[in-house]
Structure 1
Amino acid sequence: MTRSLPTNGTSSDYPQVQNDVPYSEESSLNTLDICIPRLNNPNHDPLWIVFIHGGAWQDPAISASSFRKTQDLLLDSSEIKSIAGLASLNYRLSPYPAHETDPSNPADPARNAKHPDHINDVLTAILYLQERYLFQDRYILVGHSVGATLAFQVAMKRYWGVQYESTYALELNVEPPLAILGVEGIYDLPALVKYHRKEPVYEGFVSNANGSDSAVWKAVSPVEGLYEQSWPDGRLVVIAHSHGDELVEWEQAELMVAALEGQGWDDKSDARHLKVLEMTGKHDQVWEEGGELARAIVTTLQGIQAMA
């Protein structure tokens, strides 16, 4: 049930949930699902969880609602005391005219996005939350599949090359998170396409969302981020992946770990900590059942708490 989010109330009024909250007027998909688990204690400083769904930038069957099972599990967990709020965001999707049940319409602005539309929507949504709830950088940004790509693009900020700087003016107002959790993520687009060169659907959805120039694929890939410059206050990265993922190979996790280690992130650092979490299950199973995604979020929360 959708309920409004009050500014005050009693403990019995919580959790407060509001779905399909518009954060911009770009399209019908520029919405957020928001959950406030309890009355906030002014002497306590818990974190927000912000989730970005996957779906190859184009699948209308995967949306912000994919976080609801995980959210329910977190609300029932002892770790909920460390969470101030949870949000899951929708963003404009790339064209998918061949979708079996919900083909895209060329006239629909929600279903004709090209890079950088997706990341601009993500930044707009985060800015909306930061301005409304004033949590600044006290959040964990969680992304599944291409949602993980987008999460790291938030941390990459202006470091896209000159051709992208004018497009990302909005990001100057967005504070990157304390931590990023990438789940079954895509971090190196050229490597993904090469690995699946016998499966043209991969090059198809990468090109559909990011154009046909492989130099752009490289530039927007999280492995190319200059995080020391663009995300100096980042504290923790958790790369969570399953060997049972049938869609995104473990190599993607390895490539991202190597890129971060090359910039001083490791499992021993108290300043820029890196953790690899092995998950179980198939690519979408981790969020469909919710337990593995919830476990990864709890692991990330505990990692931030241990660094405090």
Structure 2
Amino acid sequence: MMPNRADFNWPQDDRQARWQSAEVASPHLNRRIPVIAAKDIPYIPNANRLQNLSIYLPQTAQTAALIGTPVTSLPGTDSTARLPRYLVHIHGGAWRDPRLTSASIEPTVAHAFSGGVLPGEGPGLVTAIASLNYTVSPLNYPASAAMADPPVPYDAIKDNHTDLAREAVHPQHVSDVLHGLALLGSLGLADGSYILSGHSCGACLALQSVLQPPRHYGLGHLAEPPCPAALLGLNGLYDLPRLATADGLAPFHAHLREDYERFLSRAFGTDKDVWPDASPAGFDPASIARRIREGNAPRLVVLDQSTEDQLVPMAQRERLTATLAKAAGLRLAQGQRLTGNHAAPWEEGIMIYQSLLDTLQLLREDQ
């Protein structure tokens, strides 16, 4: 049973849980796009600064009337539409970067709610976009220059202070995502009503949160999330052990092995024998098939990977594809939208939005 809003102990006068006017932008659009948003909504009591989510709506006469009112539901929860109405996104950042937040979805939001700038798109395809933050893991000393623009290192002992927003060790990342989905469920997110997307480690989190039950991670006290209509993985990390081995990285990415090993050890622990259980590429296809039959996992997964990605090898998508291809009842599609460097999809927005449109079309074909 999904929780209701009463389970979330929100403050009586919390402006973060109220609809506000906002603007979003994309480098591919020549104007800023007005939207209605509720940003940084905590999804657990006493949340740290990253245990929250943001929701964006298109600006219409109906949504403008929400400005200043509490967030009590997602728009269109009473819709009889056969296609999903919402996108829920999980950002990347190697499980460790506190600077990469839910706001990274805003270029995508700009395209989704710009009023129609892409050939063949129509109004009202998606009526809300939610973006999840989650507690990140400590960042090792010294910060490696191998990864682009590494964030400020954090170690509670060396820094002589504790930042609870940077103390996560698996499965807390998954736990946070499940709490975020539960809050959205209390607002009307339902089975089949949304597409769940993720970029980089966010793609890993998306698959972890849906393709396995919470008890797989020792989180049996948490409810199953609403089942998405589809999963969309973008430049994702799916086979954790192979990211830290010489044979798991092509020559173009070989210089990243030590950095991968460092941040994976902080995010998942130093015992590499437990990493496969956390890796979507290592999930049991029969278990995934059973979850599909039971209505806990979607029948469609779309994976896209840029061949120009300087941080993630194509082998990650290939390894996950080999696993998912064995899951009975699952339709697996390869996306064709991602180009450029690792961050290009969320920085530009247009590629994630095009991938969303493609996923909606695939779902339409299955009706």
Q: Same fold (TM over 0.5)?
A: yes
Q: Does 1:26 align with 2:52?
A: no
1:143 corresponds to:
198
Superposition deviation, residue 235 in structure 1: 2.0
User: Of residues 46, 49, 57 in structure 2, which corresponds to 1:36?
Assistant: 57
The Cα offsets for residues 174-216 of structure 1, whole Å up to 9 and x where unpaired, read as 2231210000001111112112465300111111100011221
Check conservation: 2:17, 2:41, Cα contact below 8 A: no
Check conservation: 2:88, 2:196, Cα contact below 8 A: yes
Aligned ranges for residues 154-169 of structure 1 at < 5 Å? 154-158=209-213, 164-165=217-218, 167-169=219-221
User: Of residues 297, 307, 318 in structure 2, which corresponds to 1:254?
Assistant: 318
Relative to 1, partners in 2 of residues 1:159 and 1:27: Cα closer, same or farther, differing over 3 Å?
closer
User: Of residues 8, 14, 19 in structure 2, which corresponds to 1:5?
Assistant: 19
The Cα offsets for residues 226-266 of structure 1, whole Å up to 9 and x where unpaired, read as 311234331210001110011001111111111111113xx
Secondary structure of 2:127's aligned partner: strand
2:139 corresponds to:
96
User: Of residues 281, 289, 294 in structure 2, which corresponds to 1:228?
Assistant: 289
Distance 1:254 1:215 in 2: 22
Check conservation: 2:140, 2:266, Cα contact below 8 A: no
Superposition deviation, residue 294 in structure 1: 1.4
User: Of residues 270, 283, 300 in structure 2, which corresponds to 1:212?
Assistant: 270
Check conservation: 2:88, 2:129, Cα contact below 8 A: yes
Distance 1:231 1:149 in 2: 18
1:64 corresponds to:
102
Q: Does 1:131 align with 2:190?
A: no
Distance 1:101 1:282 in 2: 18
Check conservation: 1:126, 1:174, Cα contact below 8 A: yes
Q: Does 1:291 align with 2:353?
A: no
User: Of residues 236, 239, 245 in structure 2, which corresponds to 1:188?
Assistant: 239
Check conservation: 1:243, 1:250, Cα contact below 8 A: yes
Deviates more, 1:37-46 or 1:174-183: 37-46
AA partner of residue 86 (structure 1): I
2:177 corresponds to:
122
Distance 1:227 1:79 in 2: 34
Distance 1:223 1:79 in 2: 35
Check conservation: 2:42, 2:52, Cα contact below 8 A: yes
Superposition deviation, residue 62 in structure 1: 1.1
Deviates more, 1:271-280 or 1:105-114: 271-280
The Cα offsets for residues 114-173 of structure 1, whole Å up to 9 and x where unpaired, read as 001100000000010011124334111100000000000012233875xx33x3421x34
Distance 1:19 1:217 in 2: 33
Deviates more, 1:41-50 or 1:287-296: 41-50
Aligned ranges for residues 244-283 of structure 1 at < 5 Å? 244-264=308-328, 272-278=330-336, 279-283=338-342
AA partner of residue 62 (structure 1): L
Distance 2:272 2:151 in 1: 31
Unaligned runs of 5+ in 2: 1-15, 21-33, 63-74, 144-149, 157-161
- Runs of 4 or more, structure 1, over 6 Å off, are none
Distance 1:202 1:155 in 2: 24
Check conservation: 2:193, 2:228, Cα contact below 8 A: yes
Distance 2:226 2:17 in 1: 28
AA partner of residue 88 (structure 1): S
Distance 1:140 1:68 in 2: 17
Superposition deviation, residue 222 in structure 1: 0.5
Check conservation: 1:79, 1:298, Cα contact below 8 A: no
2:127 corresponds to:
84
1:152 corresponds to:
207
Check conservation: 1:26, 1:109, Cα contact below 8 A: no
Q: Does 1:200 align with 2:258?
A: yes
Structure number with higher helix proportion: 1
User: How many equivalent pairs are there?
Assistant: 290
Q: TM-score with structure 1 length normalisation?
A: 0.86
Q: Does 1:109 align with 2:160?
A: no
Relative to 1, partners in 2 of residues 1:74 and 1:130: Cα closer, same or farther, differing over 3 Å?
same
Deviates more, 1:27-36 or 1:134-143: 134-143
Superposition deviation, residue 4 in structure 1: 3.2
Distance 1:273 1:177 in 2: 14
Distance 1:97 1:178 in 2: 37
AA partner of residue 364 (structure 2): Q
AA partner of residue 266 (structure 2): N
Q: CA RMSD in A?
A: 2.3
Relative to 1, partners in 2 of residues 1:5 and 1:189: Cα closer, same or farther, differing over 3 Å?
same
